[in-house]
Amino acid sequence: MLSAKSGDWRTQPLPARFSSVPLDRVFSTEQMQRIRAGLIPRQMEDKWFVYWQEDALFFHRSWTGFCVYVVRFADEGVCSKMIEAHANRDAEQYSGNSDEHDREMISYLIDVLLLHRSAAFPSDRTDLQERAIANWAQVGRAMLGEGPGST
């Protein structure tokens, strides 16, 4: 399995304005292998570039290269634990401002993009069409089970 590297895509660093979001989710060794492989977009509808570096998973928007999340992990022997994320708070790069929403979105992105599992899209929108459009804007064709790394 080839792994995404920071130089595989045009990226920008996480800006000085960010929020530290505590996380608490455990992943098996097998799941961590898939997470560490990251994701290189292959077409316009692949919305994220994701790569592993040292003890962190970096999430960049594919079109802009903006870093939205840097997720830190801790090795716990037979598993690894997500412990904290830095979430972009530069309003010119990312409109998110809720730690709780970002916590849910990070898990969703890992499930859908890297582990290729179905997961509930984190949204407070009640209109199904608006919810679907918001989901497409976040993960593109991955919401249909398609995209890089999908089977």
Tokens of 95: 């409109």
Name the more confident of 85 and 131: 85
CB 66 within 8 A of CB 47: no
> How many domains is the chain partitioned into structurally?
1
Does residue 24 belong to any structural domain of this protein? yes
Does residue 64 belong to any structural domain of this protein? yes
Does residue 1 belong to any structural domain of this protein? no
Does residue 151 belong to any structural domain of this protein? no
What percentage of the chain has pLDDT greater than the value 90? 70
Does residue 121 belong to any structural domain of this protein? yes
Partners of 88 in beta bridges: 18
Q: Which pLDDT tens digit goes with each residue over 34-91? A: 999 999 999 888 899 999 999 999 999 999 999 999 999 999 888 999 999 999 999 9
The DSSP secondary-structure symbol of 113 reads I
Judge whether residue 98 has pLDDT over 60. Answer: yes
Strand ranges, E, within the chain: 18-28, 48-53, 56-61, 67-75, 79-88
Q: Which pLDDT score is estimated for 147? A: 66
Does residue 149 belong to any structural domain of this protein? no
Spatial distance between the Cα atoms of 111 and 65, rounded to a whole number of angstroms: 21
Cα angle for residues 44, 102, 39 (degrees, 5° grid) = 35
Label residue 125 left, alpha or beta by phi (over 0 means left) and psi (-120 to 50 means alpha).
beta
Could you list the residue range(s) of the whole structural domain that residue 59 is in? 6-144
pTM for this prediction: 0.91
Spatial distance between the Cα atoms of 78 and 124, rounded to a whole number of angstroms: 35
CA 110 to chain CA mean position, Å = 6
Partners of 82 in beta bridges: 25, 73
Judge whether residue 20 has pLDDT over 70. Answer: yes
Which range among 67-76, 97-106, 122-131, 138-147 shows the weakest confidence by mean pLDDT?
A: 138-147
Does residue 42 belong to any structural domain of this protein? yes
Judge whether residue 135 has pLDDT over 50. Answer: yes
Q: Which pLDDT score is estimated for 151? A: 47
Question: What's the mean per-residue pLDDT of the chain?
Answer: 91
Does residue 111 belong to any structural domain of this protein? yes
What percentage of the chain has pLDDT greater than the value 70? 96
